């Protein structure tokens, strides 16, 4: 059920660049035929975003984007070479702290932080909310998965991003507050979740996070990616989201879609209601 007086702002949290093969195993557009084997690699922008929900029951933030110190923080993993973050002319690059500041907010103004999963471009700024006030949650399956990681990183999980935080685990699809729900959509990682927001005026929005990278991934048919923990679970999650979209008429807002990003209403001046 939609909650009255709810506003949803999409916040810029940094834009990476990457070879599109990481995100889309698509013949012709990314995977080339022999006639095109010498074509340039298909690099593109990989924007990240957070979602700020101004709800009568409190302020909810979905995801945290990339860190300001990405070069140093990612260097032990090599990701700084594969996913460099674009610099903005003002040297800001739309990081989360500046996006919150533009909203007139500080991290301790956030009542609940929901992390779609714990990868380096979604949970990197989670410790910003270790303030004794903000409650932090993610999928229990994600917490179970990262518990066995040793060393600096395992794939795109960097434990320094979140270790030591008191993070609650969510099992199953769950309504967090009226009109705001999480959807369990594993496959990209053990416990990737998507976000559903039922707005009184603009209907249902589904923020897929990395359950679906971009519209081209969504299809139908769905097109897989290189960064997927379980392809079978991923495909089942995509079809689960498709069923919800068909049942609700939801607008799908994908995790890293360069073209769709240009159509977003972006905070602080624009919002969905």
Least confident of 63-77, 83-97, 199-213: 83-97
Whether residue 45 has pLDDT greater than 90: yes
Cα separation, 137 vs 128, in Å, equals: 14
pTM: 0.95
Q: Which two tokens stand for residue 148?
A: 């066995």
pLDDT in tens, 78-108: 999 999 999 875 666 689 999 999 999 999 9
For residues 178 and 28, which has the higher predicted lDDT (pLDDT)?
178
Of 125, 154, 16, 152, nearest in space to 80 by CA? 16
For residues 68 and 40, which has the higher predicted lDDT (pLDDT)?
68
pLDDT in tens, 98-147: 999 999 999 999 999 999 999 999 999 999 999 999 999 999 999 999 99
Of 163, 176, 153, nearest in space to 62 by CA? 176
Mean pLDDT of the chain: 94
Q: Which two tokens stand for residue 65?
A: 């984007």
């Amino acid at each position: 059920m939609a909650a009255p007086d709810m506003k949803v702002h999409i916040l810029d949290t940094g834009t990476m660049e990457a070879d599109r093969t990481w995100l889309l195993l698509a013949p012709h557009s990314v995977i080339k035929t022999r006639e095109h084997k010498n074509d340039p690699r298909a690099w593109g922008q990989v924007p990240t975003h957070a979602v700020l929900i101004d709800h009568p029951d409190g302020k909810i933030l979905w995801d945290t984007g990339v860190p300001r110190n990405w070069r140093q923080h990612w260097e032990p993993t090599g990701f700084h070479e594969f996913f460099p973050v674009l610099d903005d002319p003002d040297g800001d690059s739309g990081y989360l702290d500046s996006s919150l500041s533009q909203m007139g907010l500080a991290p301790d103004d956030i009542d609940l932080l929901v992390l779609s999963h714990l990868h380096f471009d979604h949970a990197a700024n989670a410790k910003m909310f270790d303030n004794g006030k903000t409650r932090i949650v993610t999928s229990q399956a994600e917490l179970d998965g990262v518990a066995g990681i040793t060393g600096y990183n395992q794939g795109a999980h960097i434990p320094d991003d979140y270790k030591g935080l008191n993070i609650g685990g969510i099992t199953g699809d769950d309504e967090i507050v009226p009109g705001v729900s999480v959807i369990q959509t594993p496959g990209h990682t053990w416990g990737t979740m998507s976000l559903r927001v039922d707005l009184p005026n603009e209907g249902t929005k589904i923020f897929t996070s990395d359950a679906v990278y971009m519209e081209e991934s969504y299809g139908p048919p769905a097109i897989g990616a290189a960064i997927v923990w379980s392809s079978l679970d991923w495909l089942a999650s995509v079809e689960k989201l498709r069923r919800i979209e068909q049942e609700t008429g939801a607008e799908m807002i994908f995790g890293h879609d360069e073209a769709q990003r240009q159509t977003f209403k972006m905070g602080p001046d624009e919002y969905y209601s």
